[in-house]
Chains A and B, each alone.
Chain A
Amino acid sequence: MTDVATESLTMREVFGRTVTELLDTDQRAVLVLADISTVMFAPAAARHPNRVINVGIREQLLIGVAGGLALTGLRPVVYSFSPFLVERPFEQIKLDLGHQDVGAVLVSSGGSYDYAEEGRSHQAPGDVALLDTLPGWTIHVPGHPAEADRLLRAAVAGADPVYIRLSAQSNAAPTDGNRVRVLRPGRRGVVLAVGPMLDRVLAATATMDVTVAYTATVRPLDGAGLREAVLAADRADVVLVEPYLAGTSAYLVNAALDDVPHRLRSLGVSREVELRMYGTPEDHDTAHGLYTAGIAAAVQSFLDRSD
């Protein structure tokens, strides 16, 4: 659902507004917090004291409680910063949700390094790769608050395990759907932008004859849609641009093209070193090459190599 109010809010603010609304309208919905953003949900907690649960600074319990809630038929929405939601209680995600065969909607904010100035502890460029070791998860990386709103509503209405990775970084306009969408066709190859990477990819490739495709949903990845976009271009050259660890989805791109001779370059957060730097998200984008000129140079050099 896109509306004027949504467009003026951040993803996190949209999350607060939408979950508050869903708690009013969906008796299955239950929100579990670990001391992060409790103020944002204070009005909802006052109205639904049994369905807004703050466990304090206890992330193992955060996920364990979600598993127990789901076992009673409720639909837990679980929120924290990305490292504290996915990395710290990872075994709980594996066992208390996955192994129990129950779902929850895990919603993180902070992305890879939205809170760059807080340091490594608050950065989680590996969250998607880590969660990707578990079967059955749907993973959304919305690129706009309206996408976050739409994906969140659909997730809460379901029963499966879903991870929604909110970020302070956002594109100017939302894109619809859960599939790979071609936003600009070209001949020399395909650049697949994930979530908040879209606007900078569009800017970086503005003068290149390449297809720009987009997805906000990376698990499952729409391999058929990607394949269609690749086959429509003259060359099966693919650049994957993800806002977390470089190459996280590379194996799925390769699987989608397993009968097509192709080349792939994966851009994302570097896996090589721990970047001991505070600063801003933009500083980190620059360090990892995830800024317009950096992406332009990487795409151009990749295309040039096959000429």
Chain B
Amino acid sequence: MTVTTPAGYAGLPALMARMTGDEKHAMAAASTVDVLWVLYDRVLNITADRLTDPDRDRFLLAKGHGPAAYYAVLAAKGIIDAALLADWGGRESPLGHHPDRVLIPGVEIGSGSLGHGLPIAVGTALGLRAGNRATPRVVVLIGDGELDEGSNHEAIAVAARLKLDRLTVAVVDNNSSSHGWPGGIAERFAVEGWATSTVHGRDHDQLYTAFTTPHPGRPAAVVAVVAEKADQ
């Protein structure tokens, strides 16, 4: 069967529907889709022909839960084959409900358990620095609920103290943390010395500006607020 899919962002609902079976609901449920799209479309230098290039930017999906939007963006960018989407989670599929880097070239980390991506991203940024690779960016996406995990706070303190200015954390805030963050999520990063910005998580231009604003000498946190209480 030939499936005709519109190109670019407009094609994402159809790609996600191959996994979720629900085109209308998929985009609203995917709190991460706009952040992912802006990063892969306009910010990161990751393309299908340089997935093992040591100088490529690194994108780490820490919040591996609900990866339909991630897979859809990777498919839209030709990094994974869109034909794989329909069987996601299947026995023969490399696409699980949490991504596995060993099974999917182009996926930088396997994730699922929360609170692992940011510490790994700190190590990746330190490794690129130690290897004298000053250029690549390291961008890690976490959720506001994921921020509950204490491992993130170990990483937040050290990343700023070690001046990891090639590191960016995107916090997708869909208000899913049970006990919340009085004073705001950005403040948790700012007090440790991070550059911070809080933007509308569906506004592509705001996201682009936040992700491309220079932050010399310190890491950056972009809090992308998504109003809907998402179900994933």
Asked whether A and B interact, the reply is: yes
Within 8 A of B (CB), among A192-238: none
Give the residues in chain A near B150, CB-CB below 8 Å.
Answer: 60
Residues of B147-167 whose CB lies within 8 A of A: 150-151, 154-155, 157-158, 162
A290 to B147, CA, bound (A): 46
Task: Contact check, A71 vs B120: say whether CB atoms are below 8 A apart.
Answer: yes
Q: Contact partner of B125 among A58, A61, A68, A91, CB < 8 A?
A: A68
The residues of B that contact A53 with a CB separation of less than 8 Å are 126, 162
Contact partners of B157 in chain A: CB under 8 A:
56, 58
Q: Write out the residue numbers on chain B whose beta carbons fall within 8 Å of the beta carbon of A30.
A: 126-127, 130
Contact (Cβ within 8 A) B123 A71:
yes
Q: Is B182 an interface residue (CB 8 A)?
A: no
A93 → B minimal CB distance (Å): 11
- Dominant secondary structure at the A interface: helix
Query: Is residue B219 within 8 Å, beta carbon to beta carbon, of the partner chain?
Result: no
- With a CB–CB cut-off of 8 A, which chain A residues contact B129? 50
For window 130-153 of B, CB contacts with A under 8 Å fall at: 130-131, 133, 150-151
Residue of B112, B116, B157, B162 most packed against chain A (CB within 10 A): B116
User: Which residue on chain A has the smallest CB distance to residue B108?
Assistant: A71
User: Bound state CA distance, A9 and B151, in angstroms?
Assistant: 36
With A95-B116, A96-B120, A101-B101 known to touch, is A58 a contact of B127 (CB < 8 Å)?
no
Are A64 and B119 interface neighbours, CB within 8 A?
yes
Q: How many residues of A contact B (CB 8 A)?
A: 29
Across the A-B interface, how many residue pairs have beta carbons closer than 8 Å? Answer: 103
A73 at the interface (CB under 8 A from B): yes
Q: Choose one: B100, B126, B133, B154; the contact of A60 (CB below 8 Å).
A: B154
Within 8 A of B (CB), among A65-89: 65-74, 76
Assess the B151–A61 pair: CB atoms within 8 A.
yes
Complex contacts, A74 vs chain B, CB 8 Å: 127, 130-131
Contact status A68-B127, CB under 8 Å: yes
Decide if B122 is an interface residue (CB 8 Å cutoff): yes
Report the bound CA distance from A87 to B54 in whole Å.
33
Cross-chain contact B109 with A100 (CB below 8 angstroms): yes
State whether B123 touches A65 (Cβ < 8 A): yes
Q: Is the CB of A61 within 8 A of B131?
A: no
Residues of chain B contacted by A51 (CB below 8 angstroms): 130
CB distance from B149 to the nearest CB of A (A): 9
A61:B130 contact, CB within 8 angstroms: no
Q: Does A47 contact B (CB under 8 A)?
A: no
A61–B119 contact, CB under 8 A? yes
**Total interface residues on B, using CB and 8 Å?**
33
Residue of A nearest to B119 (CB): A64
Q: Inside 8 A of A67's CB, which chain B residues have their CB? A: 119-120, 123
Output the least CB separation between A184 and chain B (Å).
45
Greatest chain A CB density within 10 A among B109, B129, B154 is at: B154
Q: A71-B108, A72-B131, A100-B109 are in contact. Are A65 and B126 (CB under 8 A)?
A: yes
CB-nearest residue of chain B to A28: B131
CB-nearest residue of chain B to A72: B127
Residue of A nearest to B123 (CB): A68
Which residue on A lies nearest to B155, using beta carbons? A61
CB pair B123 A56 closer than 8 Å: no
A65 and B129 alpha carbons, distance in the complex (Å)? 13
Instruction: Return the contact of B102 from the options A68, A73, A96, A101 (Cβ within 8 A).
Output: A101
Q: Find B154's partner among A58, A66, A76, A96 (CB 8 Å cutoff).
A: A58
CB-CB < 8 A to B101: which residues of A?
100-101
Q: Report Cα–Cα, A107/B129, bound state, in Å.
A: 24
Q: Does B113 contact A (CB under 8 A)?
A: yes
Say whether B198 faces chain A, with CB atoms less than 8 Å apart: no
Q: Can you add 16 more A-B contacts, CB < 8 Å, to A67-B120, A72-B130, A91-B113? A: A30-B126, A53-B126, A56-B157, A58-B158, A64-B116, A65-B120, A67-B119, A68-B119, A68-B124, A71-B120, A72-B54, A74-B130, A92-B116, A95-B112, A95-B113, A101-B101
**Can you name 13 A-B pairs with beta carbons within 8 Å?**
A30-B127, A58-B157, A61-B151, A65-B120, A68-B124, A71-B120, A72-B128, A73-B131, A74-B127, A95-B116, A96-B116, A99-B110, A100-B101
| Chain A interface residues toward B at CB < 8 A | 30, 50-51, 53, 55-56, 58, 60-61, 63-74, 76, 91-92, 95-96, 99-101
- Chain B residues engaging chain A, CB cutoff 8 angstroms: 54, 100-102, 108-110, 112-113, 115-116, 118-131, 133, 150-151, 154-155, 157-158, 162
Q: Across chains A and B, which 6 residue pairs bring their CB atoms closest together, nearest first?
A: A68-B123, A64-B119, A72-B127, A65-B123, A68-B124, A58-B154
